[in-house]
Amino acid sequence: MVNKRFMLGMSALTLVLGMMVLGACASSPYIVLQEPIKPDSKNAVVIFLGSSSTKAQVWDGEKPVGTFKGTPSTSMNCIFWKTAPGSHIFVGRSTNFVHQRMNLQANKTYYIRIHEIPAPYSTPITMNEVTKQQYDEFIERWNIRNIEYDNNWRQDFLAENDGKWLRDIREYLKTAK
């Protein structure tokens, strides 16, 4: 009788632990890339470099690209964004808003670094374009995780906070243009 109860208890514990592990894996909002995304004749690639401590959201105009919040704190992260060429306003949002205007060309890769500015009780950020050489130095220096977010994440993200983040971005873009 004791062995039967023990085995049932162990089975239940194994089931609960297995569900927790699967739930943790499934809850990751981003996809870890095995290979970096490359541009092609119809698209450019923008790589945003940053860390989880910035907690920054990254937007391409009114479209969310990704967020550093919730990414591994043991490494720096590169969010990859494949997009159409042309004029873009990339917005970083943390406790402040920053933006970078760019005119993208197909078959090219661009690099944007998002830095946090040390400040008490908040995490303001800056955003600036960096060179391929600076990107390569960044990659050599840090344990990098290459990630991207999918359209399902974008839909869920836009629905959070009853759309407040999108409304805030729209307001900011009025002054950023």
Instruction: Judge if 1 and 73 occupy the same domain.
Output: no
The pLDDT value given to residue 113: 96
Mean pLDDT by 10 residues, the chain (177 residues): 51 40 53 92 96 90 93 84 97 95 98 91 91 92 89 92 92 89
Domain count, the chain: 2
- Whether 7 and 38 map to the same domain: the answer is no
Note whether 68 and 55 are within 8 A (CB): yes
- The answer to whether residues 3 and 38 belong to one domain is no
pLDDT at position 129 is 96
Per-residue pLDDT at 27? 59
What local confidence, expressed as pLDDT, does residue 15 receive? Answer: 40
pLDDT at 47: 97
Same domain, yes or no, for 102 and 77? yes
CA distance readout (Å), 149 to 57, 113, 153, 154, 161: 12, 18, 6, 7, 19
Same domain, 105 and 172: yes
| Range(s) of the domain holding residue 23 | 1-31
Q: How far apart are CA 52 and CA 74, in angstroms?
A: 9
